[in-house]
Each structure stands twice: as structure tokens, then as C-alpha cells.
Structure 1
Amino acid sequence: METATRTPLYLLHGDATELFSDVRTESVDLVLTDPPYNLGTFMADRQTNLAAMRANNFVKAGWDNQNYDQWTLLMDCFLAESARCLRLGGALVTFMSIIKVESIVRLAEKHGLYYKTTGIWHKTNPMPRNMNLHFVNSTESWVYFTKKKKTGTFNNGGKVVHDFISMAATPASEKRLGAHPTQKPVQLMEHFIRLLTNPGEEILDPFMGSGSSGVAARNLERRFTGFEKDETYYKLARARVQIDE
């Protein structure tokens, strides 16, 4: 009787800039991640009322409060190491604030990553914060690159795939073990993994947070390596990747 083998999943606690050395050169098929946007201080100064409405938010977290030069150095290291780890034609998808996309593209191209597109995730059920004052924030951008080739794996099955993804924000069922302030829904991560990789291939998330990318990789039978610096979120990611359905 054959014994089923589980797809390898490696979750590491520590700083991404140090843990990248554990990943072999040209061993990764997709880097899928949601790094710091460096908006904590910016948002705190804009009277968004975010801190008052939600205690678990990036304004209070501290990890999103670097100055621009510090953030640029972190992103430069992240993109350089991602380029090293990616195989030729491998993909990188990173979520990013729209006001930082140009900076990310500039840094990525320096390291041999070919810019493909900037897309939008439209949250169909956003928090209606300050709805009587201005437009409700219902979108996040994502940026797509390939390594040193103008195309790579794209499993569209001959169908048109738009760069505009419309789906709900992370459901409560995915937060039952705990939540991250910028947690992405598993369905969203699965969308990119299906399109840009094949079963058995390797996914890397250097800023894993609560582990949605790991849950998605496990669901779709991809190998996965994730880094998380915050111990609380690292433990949450381990719990979710192991038992979340």
C-alpha cells in the first residue's frame, strides 16, 4: 500500500534579510509576498481614524514605520535575493501601495527582474471608513515580474485573465486562530499560485505574516518556504498552515 507524501512546507522565524541565505540559488518558481509598505507613520499623520477603529493595525504595529531610506534598503535586499533565488523565467508577485510601485519597479529592474504589469485587487467588502468624508479605500495594487525573460509559466488555459481581481477581503473563517492587520485571503494567493506555477514547484514568501501564502501553497500541492520576523505571527502561520482548511 502506497503512503501519501506531504508537500514540503518550511516556515522559518527570523529576519528575511538573514534567512534568504537558507534558500538555494535558482531554486524558486514563484516569490509571492506582501512586504511592508512603509506607510505606518504616513497614515498616522493623515487622521484616517484607523488606530481608533481597529487596534490590530499596521499604524500601531511598528514594522511599517521605517523612514524611506531604510525601507528602500530593505526592498533592495529583498529584490536582489529574490532574483538570486528565482529560476530563469520564474515569477515574482508583490503587493504594494500604489504610491510605492515606481520605487519597486526601479529597484527590481536593477536586479534583472522584468516588469510585466501592475494589477489591482478590488475588495468587494471594504471597511467603510470615513465614508462620508472621502472615497472608501477598496483596492490594493500588486506588481508582477519575471526573471530575465519576458514570459514564464502562465496557466490561463487559453482564457483571458484580467489584471483586475475582484473578491472579498479575508473572511472571518480565516482569522479564527488570530489575525494579521494586512492579512490576504487564501483565495487571492491561490489565484496567483495556480496561474504562475505547477504542482510540486517551489513558492517563497519572505514576509509571510499570518501564512495565507503557505496555506494556499499547501492546498495546491506546491512546496513552500516562508519567513516571518514577528514571533506572534510566525506562530499563527504555523498553526494555520498545519490545520487550516
Structure 2
Amino acid sequence: MTVADLQRAMQRVCFDAAPSREDLALVGSERALLYRELVRSRLRELVSKVLPKTEAALGRARTSALFDAFLAEAPPRSRFFREVIPELVAFALPRVEGHARDVLLLESTRWELAWRAGEVHGDVVELDLEKIPVAHPTLRVLALGHAVHRDVEPPPAGAFFVCVHRRPDHVVETRTLDATSFALVRAWARGDRPAIDGVREVLAAEGRAPDQAFVEKMSALLTALLEAGALLGSRA
């Protein structure tokens, strides 16, 4: 019996739907069951605190059922509590439908961006459309089927677009976009081609020319993103 064997047994005791007699015998049943309850209740409490709107949309019973299934089928791999939520969300998203799925996606994205690393490697210069744009590492664009970013209950269904990022003052900002702005931000956030190529891609997809209205919209969007720190500039 190795330490690794005991660790795996203890993990199964904590996360399996029902711990086996063999594992309980290995780790000591009475203390192990107490530890199981402490671990599971602490993680469940974390879900309620971090994803309150999701829990309200799903209901406590449904949220608890998803949480139990997550522990049993895809238990946490990280030692950090903060990373348990993204692991839970990756498991839960394919199993959630309707506006609750959009709530989960937006709420979990805002949580993750609050602590994700934001370092940029390499030199960044003033934005130049002929160069590759540099987005802040926390910039995300989301396409939603319900207006869960608004304080409206129930959230209306439709096509809604937002970008989420962490500002320099560490506030996580959610910005509403229209379809064209969403396509532009998504193209720039990829950071794999000059910004102007992303613009041409969007124009081609919409079958339109770069008329005055488009140029003004794009310019205003770029200014807003740069001022908010969502776009940082261009690769040197």
C-alpha cells in the first residue's frame, strides 16, 4: 500500500456517489466519512456563493444534482478552490438548457476573469490596423440566447452579444454588442492576423462595403475597447 493508493482511495471516498467498503476500510471509515461531508459541503457552499444567479435559475435541487454528478463523474483536479468552478461549468454546460445555460455561461465567465492571469508577453505598441492586435488576456466574447446580462425577469429570448473583460482597476466589465461589433471584437481577440484583415472578414461576411456608418461604428468601438483596456494595442 503506497501513499498514492491512499490518496486515490480518499479522493474516491470524498467524490464518489457512495464510498465503497474497500476504500472506507483503507482510510478509516469514521473519520473519512466526516471528512467527506466537510469537503462536499465546502465545495457546495462555494457553488452557491459564486453562482447565485445560476442556482436561482436552475433551482437548488437541480444545482445540487449537477454538483453531485460532477463530483462522481469528473471530480476536481486542481488543488485551488477557485478553479473548481470552471471545472464544474465545463461539466454542467452541456447538461443545462434554456436561459439557465446563458446565466451559467455569463456568471462563470465573470468569476473566472476576476482572477485569471492578465500578463501580456512581448512588446505592445499603439494600435495599428495593419498590425496584429493585442487583446487583454481576459477578453471574452459571448453569444447568448437570452438577455441574461440585463436585469429583466424572465430574460427575453433572442440573439444577444456581449464581451467581458477585466479592466485595469480589476473590475470585470460586461459590454453589450450588436452582431457587427461582436464579429469585429471576436476577430481582433484571436490575435492571429492584422486587425484590418479581421475587418475585411466581417465586411465580407455581411456583404457590405466600408461605408461611413461602418467606419464610424468601428472607430467608436476601437476607442471604447482601448479606453477600457480590453484592447491594448498592436504587436510590435
Normalization by structure 2: what TM-score? 0.23
Larger Rg: 2
Structure number with the bigger relative contact order (C-alpha 8 A, sep ≥ 6) is 1
Instruction: Decide which structure has greater helix share.
Output: 2
